[in-house]
């Protein structure tokens, strides 16, 4: 019954001519945090029906019909839900966000004011795990593991002799390496500076 209701709702939208308008938005959210996709500011009195269609690692369908005062979900994770009561505000909530949630989310609203279409591109940011080590050959290694996007690494004092390396993982994350030789260095310490949308951090290393 649930699947039939959802399929009927999807079919209804295929027959609707969108006369109200459309919008596109890119949303960046850090993994483990909450993502809220705000579909529309349609008033409670004018809202007739709303559906969310998600194309990420799995296809999820979420719909609400005001005439039946019913909400239905099809193939959705338990982390996906309405942020509020859909008859008041059809915003979508995803918590906690993970990499599998990355993808396109479409919200379609039928109301007495018109029909509206909203597309969201959800981009998941993953903070890297940081480390700074040195070996017996006098090489310091700064590493930012499994970040998305790739972290940028620089050194203090600045050096033109550092070597960078990037390892791309199947899940879309990247491990960044930066190597610098401190043999015969006149500085008592060196600092690795990691820059990333989710974290900016310095890691000091004593060379004495």
Residue 94 makes CB contacts below 8 A (sequence gap 6+) with 29, 34, 35, 36, 37, 79, 80, 101, 122
Report the percentage of the chain scoring pLDDT > 90. 58
**How many Cβ atoms are within 10 Å of 188's Cβ, its own excluded?**
8
Please give the average per-residue pLDDT across 106-118, as a whole number: 88
Q: Contact, 77 vs 70, CB < 8 A? A: no
Average pLDDT over the chain reads 86
State phi, psi for 189 to the nearest 5 degrees.
-155, 165
How much is the pTM? 0.80
Q: Which tokens in the block code for residue 43?
A: 């008033």
Report the pLDDT averaged over residues 72-86: 91
Res 83 pLDDT > 80 = yes
Of the candidates 137, 203, 144, 139, the residue with the CA atom closest to the CA atom of residue 174: 144
Residue 171 burial (C-beta neighbours within 10 Å; 0-12, 13-18, 19+): exposed
Buried b (16+ CB within 10 A) or exposed e, 51-60: bbbbebeeeb
Q: Where do the domains of the chain lie, and which CATH numbers do they carry?
A: 2-125 (2.60.40.10), 129-206 (2.60.40.10)
∠ CA 157-159-161 to the nearest 5 degrees? 150
Q: Report pLDDT digits (tens) over 19-50.
A: 445 688 999 999 999 999 998 666 666 788 99
């Amino acid at each position: 019954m649930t699947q039939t209701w959802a399929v009927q709702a999807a079919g209804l939208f295929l027959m609707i001519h969108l006369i109200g308008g459309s919008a596109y938005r890119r949303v960046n959210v850090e993994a483990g945090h909450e993502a809220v996709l705000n579909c529309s500011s349609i008033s409670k009195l004018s809202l007739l029906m709303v559906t969310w269609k998600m194309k990420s690692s799995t296809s999820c369908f979420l719909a609400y019909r005001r005439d039946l005062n019913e909400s239905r979900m099809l193939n959705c994770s338990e982390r996906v839900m309405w942020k509020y009561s859909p008859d008041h505000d059809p915003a979508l909530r995803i918590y906690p966000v993970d990499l599998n949630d990355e993808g396109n989310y479409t919200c379609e609203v039928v109301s007495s004011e018109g029909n509206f279409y909203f597309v969201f591109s959800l981009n998941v940011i993953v903070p890297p795990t940081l480390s700074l080590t040195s070996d017996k050959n006098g090489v310091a290694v700064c590493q930012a593991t499994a970040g998305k996007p790739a972290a940028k690494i620089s050194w203090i004092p600045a050096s033109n002799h550092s070597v960078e390396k990037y390892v791309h993982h199947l899940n879309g994350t990247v491990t960044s390496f930066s190597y610098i030789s401190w043999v015969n260095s006149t500085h008592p310490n060196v600092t690795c500076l990691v820059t990333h949308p989710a974290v900016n951090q310095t890691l000091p290393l004593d060379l004495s």
